Amino acid sequence: MILHIDMDAFFAAIEQRDNLSLRNKPIIVAGNSKRSVVATASYEARKFGIHSAMPVFQAKQRCPEIFIVPGNRHKYAAESQKIMNIISGFSPLMEQVSIDEAYVDIRGCEKLFGPPEEMAQKIKAAIFKAVSLTCSIGIAPVKFLAKIASDMDKPNGITLIPQDKMDTFIATLPIAKVPGVGKQAMKLMETLKIVTLGDIHKHDPDLLNKKLGKMGNRLYELSQGIDIAQVENNHTRKSISSETTLDQDICDINSARQVLLSLAQRVGRDLRKKKWACRIVSIKIKFSDFTQITRSKKIEPWIYSSAAIFNEALSLYEQVVLKKKIRLLGVGVSHFREKNAPIQMELLSAPGEQQKKQWESVDMAVDSIMEKFGSDMVKKASLATPTRKKPK
């Protein structure tokens, strides 16, 4: 059996835990910009139909008395680490898949912690004792069903799908509940008259592959209760990225340069915290009409400095022919290796090895200051808001 542990309204729950005045109130964790979107909504807010990724202005329309709390990703990451340490103590096969969820393969753990439901209760109790937060747990013979089960009795629930009930569950499971089936796929499902996951295996596999591509073969296997995905305790992130929705649409290079520099700093800091270097840099651009593009490039040297990431991101941006204004920019990196391995840094303004080392030292010093005093303590001069001189 596999457990999927999913924290309940994680960011919002942390804020309510730490601020008594927010408890039992509808709150969202989001930015203050009119274009910000909801990162997490408390369960009190969800009663108004508010959900993650909803624009903040819509959340305000649905609930005028909503409390908007700015996020604190460093605090959330610290709480996540505590939770994952607890979960890993119950089984050596634990796979963290996001900041607030993880899979656990509990084979061989019954003698120590009891049957699956009892073990789930112990995990919930241990997490609550340590961080005063609740979670919901799904239990099933395969990963994808465990994930679906964890969402069925939220918040603070446990849902078990036993082996002998799995076929019945699959036969009646709405196809829209299957991970990976989005809006575009649902249009094809309607055309094929597929309502439940069980309807999938009524169709010819070749037809499904023709209509749905690789997803067709996967859905056909899932409809028969087959999920080859295993819990991997050596799971590593495939990418690190940061993006921001702009307060106003932009089209000039100077504004874009500032945003890209800020994003590159965030990504570089996360990269160095993992002690990784990267070889692929990418950017994401969403235009004023909500269409979007991505661009990426593989670079010859392994890099980990914010300056190098920014240079590559800016180079990608300058190659895009802009015909519309931009409402969102993002920077990402991928293809990782350990930073301690021999690395040649690529800085357009730093051809000498000594200067490369100086840039690395600056990055590490800035990371240390931000970790201790907060991310707003140090800024690039070009990102600082200029102060006006007082008139004499």
- 261 — pLDDT class (breaks 50, 70, 90): very high
- 188 — pLDDT class (breaks 50, 70, 90): confident
- 360 — pLDDT class (breaks 50, 70, 90): low
Q: And the tokens for 201? A: 């295996």
Which of 30, 137, 152, 43 lies closest to 83, judged by CA? 137
Which position among 15, 44, 101, 360 bears the catalytic label?
101
Average pLDDT value for the chain: 85
Of residues 33 and 161, the one with the higher pLDDT is 161
For 231-264, the three-class secondary structure string (H helix, E strand, C coil) is: CCCCCCCCEEEEEEEEEEEECCHHHHHHHHHHHH
Dump pLDDT digits (tens) for 289-340: 888 899 999 988 888 889 999 999 999 999 999 889 999 999 999 988 876 6
Q: Tell which CATH classification among 1.10.150.20, 3.40.50.620, 3.40.50.1100, 3.40.640.10 matches the domain 166-223.
A: 1.10.150.20
Kindly list the domain boundaries of the chain, sorted by start residue: 166-223, 239-379
The helix/strand/coil state of 224 is coil
Instruction: Please confirm, yes or no, whether 101 is among the known catalytic residues.
Output: yes
Dump pLDDT digits (tens) for 140-157: 999 999 999 999 999 999
Q: What are phi and psi of 36, to 5 degrees?
A: -65, 155
Same CATH topology for 166-223 and 239-379?
Answer: no
Q: What pLDDT is recorded for position 372?
A: 54
- 162 — pLDDT class (breaks 50, 70, 90): very high
Q: And the tokens for 96? A: 């963290």
Q: What pLDDT is recorded for position 344?
A: 41
Q: What pLDDT is recorded for position 366?
A: 62
Q: Where does residue 15 rank: exposed (0-12), middle (13-18), buried (19+ CB within 10 A)?
A: buried
Q: Report the C-alpha gap between 88 and 310 in whole angstroms.
A: 36
Q: What is the CATH number of domain 239-379?
A: 3.30.1490.100
Q: Report the C-alpha gap between 330 and 247 in whole angstroms.
A: 14
- 286 — pLDDT class (breaks 50, 70, 90): very high
What's the helix, strand, coil split of the chain in %, to 5?
45, 20, 35
Average pLDDT over residues 120-124: 96
The helix/strand/coil state of 100 is coil
Which of 72, 13, 92, 77 lies closest to 45, judged by CA? 13
Q: CB-based contacts of 56: which residues, under 8 Å, 6+ apart? A: 28, 30, 31, 33, 34, 35, 36, 37, 38, 68
- 324: number of Cβ within 10 Å: 12
Q: And the tokens for 281? A: 């840099």
Q: What pLDDT is recorded for position 228?
A: 83
Q: Does 349 score more than 70 pLDDT? A: no
pTM, to two decimals: 0.72
Average pLDDT over residues 166-174: 91
- 390 — pLDDT class (breaks 50, 70, 90): very low
Per the CB < 8 A criterion, the answer to whether 72 and 56 are in contact is no
Per the CB < 8 A criterion, the answer to whether 14 and 150 are in contact is no
Distances in Å between the alpha carbon of 9 and those of 40, 61, 113? 6, 21, 27
Q: What pLDDT is recorded for position 347?
A: 42
Dump pLDDT digits (tens) for 31-85: 877 788 899 999 999 999 999 989 999 999 999 999 999 989 889 999 999 999 9
Per the CB < 8 A criterion, the answer to whether 166 and 225 are in contact is yes
Q: What pLDDT is recorded for position 235?
A: 59
DSSP code at position 385: P
Dump pLDDT digits (tens) for 89-119: 999 899 998 899 999 999 888 889 999 999 9
